[in-house]
Structure 1
Amino acid sequence: MKNPPAPVPVAPGGRTPFRTLGHVLVVVVVVVLVALPPRQANTARTGEVVPVTGAATVLDGDSLRIDGQEIRLHGVDAWEAQQTCPDQKGQPFPCGAMASAFLQELVKDEPVLCIPLLRDRYRRLVSHCLLRGRDLGWILVEKGWAVAYTRYSDYYRSSEQQARDQRLGGWRGGASHEPRSPETWRIANRSRSNHR
C-alpha cells in the first residue's frame, strides 16, 4: 500500500505542488546533496545536519545506525524490545522483539536514506528515513509494529488507525485486548527498558 498524501497546502485551483511526504523528502535531499561537496554528504559538521545514507544496523524497533550515526525515527514509537502485547485470547506475545525483527528484515541488504530534523538529548539524529522511496516510519506503523508518537507528530495517526482496525502487529488482540503504548510500558518498566 502506498503512503497516503502528506498534508500540504493546496494552491488556488486545487493543485498541490507535491503529492506525498516521500516526494518532498526526495526533493529536499536532492537539493541538499547538490549543494554539498561529495565528501560531506554523510558527515555532520558542528551545528550542521545533513542526510545520512547507507546500510543500516537496527538498534531497536525505531532506531538505526548508519555510517556511525545513531538515528531515531521521527514521529513513531515502536513496541519496546522486552514488551509483550496481548493476542486475540489476551495471551502475551513478544511484540517488541517482533518489531525489531520486522525492521531488521525490512532494511536488510537495502540502503536507507535519512533526512535529519534535529538531534535529541542522546545526540541521536531524529530523522525521516526512506527505504526504496517509502517512509520507514509509515511502514512500521501501518504494519502495527510502531504507534504514532503524537507528542511529536500527528502524521502517522491514520496509519495507526488502519493497523488497529486490521489487527496488525501489536494490535492483533483487537479492541478487547489493547496493548499498552510503548511510552506507558517504558514508564511502568523503567528498570527493564533500555530505551533512550
Structure 2
Amino acid sequence: MSRSWGPRPRRRYVAPPRSPWRQLMDCGLTVIILGLLILLAARLDRVETRKAVGAAIVNDGDSITLGAERIRMRGIDAPEYTQTCRRNGADYACGALARQSLVRLIAGRPVSCTGWQRDRYGRLLGDCTAGGKDLNRAQVEAGWAVAFGDFESEEAIARAEKAGIWAGTFDQPRDWRDSHHGEVVERKHGTLASIGDAMREIFRFW
C-alpha cells in the first residue's frame, strides 16, 4: 500500500455565530462612534480661523490694529510701550524701541494676520506677515521680543548675539506688567498651547 506524502488539506476556520448580546453591543458601539464624529464635526465649526488684512497701526512691539481688528501677535512678548530696560549702566526706552522695530519691519506695507484664539482683552492672537516676512519671528530674531510659547530657538540666537534688549538687562514683559499694572499674568500662547486650546474648544459641550 502506497502512502501519500502530499500536503494535508487545510481546515477552514468558521467563526462561531455572535450572540444577540454581542450584536447589541456592537450596534451600540457603532452608534456611539457615529455620535462622537458628529459632535466633533460640529465643534470644529467653532474653531474658525479669522484673517485680517490692511494697513497696520502699530500699538507696541507685539500688537497692532488692522481696521476694526485688534491683534496681539501670537507666541511672542515685547516690552510694553512705556517699559524701560537697562544698558551700559543707564535706563533706556526699550518699549518704544520695540515698537520702532516693528514699524521698520512692516515698512508701510499691508499686513496680513491669521488666527482663531483671542486673549482676555478680546484681541485676536495672530500670526502676522508683511511682504512675505514673518513679523512674529522677526521681532524675536531682532531681540525686541521674547519667546512666549514659540520661537525659542530664535530667542536663543538673539540672546547669544546680544541683540536688542539682550544687550543689557530687563524685566520680562509679563513681570513688568504685573509689577506696574497689577495685571493677571498672561498665559503663554505658542503652538502647544494653541493645540490644547483647540482640543478644549472641540470637546467643550457648552
Match of 2:163 among 160, 168, 177: 168
Is contact 2:52-2:114 (8 Å) kept? Answer: yes
1:118 is paired with a residue of what secondary structure?
A: coil
How many Å separate the matches in 1 of 2:143 and 2:52?
A: 26
Equivalent position SS for 1:167: coil
Deviations 1:169-196 (A, max 9, x none): 11112xxxx311101111111179xx9x
Q: Which runs of 4+ in 1 moved over 3 A?
A: 46-49
- Tell me by how many angstroms 1:134 deviates: 2.1
Residue in 2 that maps onto 1:51: 51
Match of 1:37 in 2: none
What letter corresponds to residue 66 of structure 2 in structure 1?
I
SS in 2 for 1:126: strand
- Aligned alpha-carbon RMSD (Å): 2.1
Residue 141 of structure 1: SS of its match in structure 2?
helix
CA distance in structure 2 between the partners assigned to 1:185 and 1:123 by the alignment = 21
Percent identity of equivalent pairs: 40
Taking structure 1 as the reference length, what is the TM-score of the superposition? 0.65
Q: Does 2:56 match 1:65?
A: no
Matched, 1:181 2:172: yes
Whether the 8 Å CA contact 1:117–1:128 is kept in 2: the answer is no
Structure 2 CA distance, aligned partners of 1:50 and 1:117?
6
Aligned residues: 139
Q: Which amino acid aligns with 2:93?
A: P
Q: Distance in 2 between matches of 1:92 and 1:191?
A: 22
Deviations 1:104-162 (A, max 9, x none): 2222320111111312221111011112222111100010110001xxx2x31111111
Could you tell me the TM-score, scaled by structure 2's length?
0.62
**Superposed counterparts of 1:1-196, under 5 Å:** 48-87=48-87, 89-149=88-148, 153=149, 155-173=150-168, 178-190=169-181
- Partners of 1:91 and 1:109 lie apart in 2 by 32
Q: Does the 8 Å contact 1:61/1:146 carry over to 2?
A: yes
